[in-house]
A and B are shown apart, each in its own frame.
Chain A
Amino acid sequence: DSGVTQTPKHLITATGQRVTLRCSPRSGDLSVYWYQQSLDQGLQFLIQYYNGEERAKGNILERFSAQQFPDLHSELNLSSLELGDSALYFCASSLMDGGNSPLHFGNGTRLTVT
């Protein structure tokens, strides 16, 4: 058990809809990362927050947004969903801000857009 909790585990929704994925980091970790994993793209970094502030942005679409709250949990909002957004979305947390601080991954949210 990594200590990172992601909800929900599965999400099925229709194109054009909006969903929110939630992540609670490991106790004591200040950094939260979001990744998208798909068969064709592999593991893609989306965005990182550190202690409530956006720290780094990767291949995140404008239709997607995220935030980290004062209690350090994070939410990833996906809007105007398309079929291609179907993927496994992982949250990870780390104690420090990148560098050699290893990431601890949750079990992911599997999003299916129909």
Chain B
Amino acid sequence: AQSVTQLGSHVSVSEGALVLLRCNYSSSVPPYLFWYVQYPNQGLQLLLKYTTGATLVKGINGFEAEFKKSETSFHLTKPSAHMSDAAEYFCAVSDPGSGGGADGLTFGKGTHLIIQP
């Protein structure tokens, strides 16, 4: 069984400051990893994903995440926060050996990012 832990249900940063959203996972095999963003009254949108290869993954809107196997982490960062980044962020893990099916995809509980002017 796999699980995802997002540390901090709410994170507040000042506009222009570094954004760091933490995600740790547990999985018996090297997983596929995803970050999704949810803006108010909208569905989730894929920010970035890691499957294989380079461990530093760049996504949309200036976000990036680094897969660290030794730390079982996939933290999301952005060098300079913008007001438009205020949203809910979800980390998700998929087991490549699950044979497919959404029962192999597990979401974290989400982190609400607040941007202070």
**Residues of A with Cβ closer than 8 Å to B?**
2, 4, 31, 33, 42-43, 45, 48, 50, 55-58, 90, 92, 96-100, 102-108
Contacts and interface: CB of A to CB of B under 8 A. Distances in A.
A100 B32 CA distance: 6
Contacts of B107: 42-43, 45
Interface in B61-115: 90, 94, 96, 98-105, 107, 109-110
Interface residues of B, number: 25
B104 A102 contact: no
Nearest to A9: B41
A98 B109 contact: no
B11 to A, nearest CB: 17
B28 interface: no
A100 B49 contact: yes
Contacts of B99: 98
A2 B45 contact: yes
A97 B104 CA distance: 10
A107 to B, nearest CB: 5
